[in-house]
Amino acid sequence: MADTLIQIQLLDSTTGEVVSDAFPLTQAKGVKLANGQDLETYLSSLVLQKGDTGATGAKGTDGKTIWNGTSDPTSSTGTDGDFYINTNSHKIFGPKASGLWPTGVSIIGPQGIQGVQGTKGDTGATGPTGPTGSQGAKGDKGDPGDTLKYGTNYSTASSVKLFFKQV
């Protein structure tokens, strides 16, 4: 099926005269280039040029690591300056110095004291169910489905008909 271009126009609801052409927002897939390719595909096909490799930077200082496990660290774990957390005993060891781990220190404080219980609030009463209202009056007949308001403010907007014109 050949591509069909559609022009959107707003028409005067009484005379049918063109009030304005509409220009909707679109996606790159919907924009066709002169060669028939869509803009999204064209942009995806572009290849970026690779630049020259930069100079190697200076060596940084060794970073330190926080290790963890379910038992205390052994001397073969980590390097000087590292820390270790035993996730079972909740103790932290470190920093490791001269290849040795210091004694672990608990990272869990003592149990706090029980707080004072607050006073119980009163239960509110359930309100009564209101009476069912009577049915309202029938509203005015609405505009035909192809009519819409056009403008910057609803109260001052003009009624127009929407028309899709094949071009």
Confirm whether 89 is domain-assigned.
Answer: yes
Confirm whether 35 is domain-assigned.
Answer: yes
At which of 101, 122, 148 does a domain end? 101
Cα 158 from Cα 12, distance rounded (Å): 8
Confirm whether 79 is domain-assigned.
Answer: yes
pLDDT digits (tens, 9 = 90+) for 119-148: 999 999 999 999 999 998 998 887 666 677
Confirm whether 17 is domain-assigned.
Answer: yes
How many structural domains does the chain have? 2
Confirm whether 29 is domain-assigned.
Answer: yes
Query: Which structural domain range is residue 68 located in?
Result: 63-101
Residue type, 163: F
Cα 144 from Cα 151, distance rounded (Å): 18
Confirm whether 19 is domain-assigned.
Answer: yes
pTM of the shown model: 0.36
Identify which of 99, 92, 98 has the alpha carbon closest to the alpha carbon of residue 77.
Answer: 99
Is 102's pLDDT higher than 80? Answer: yes
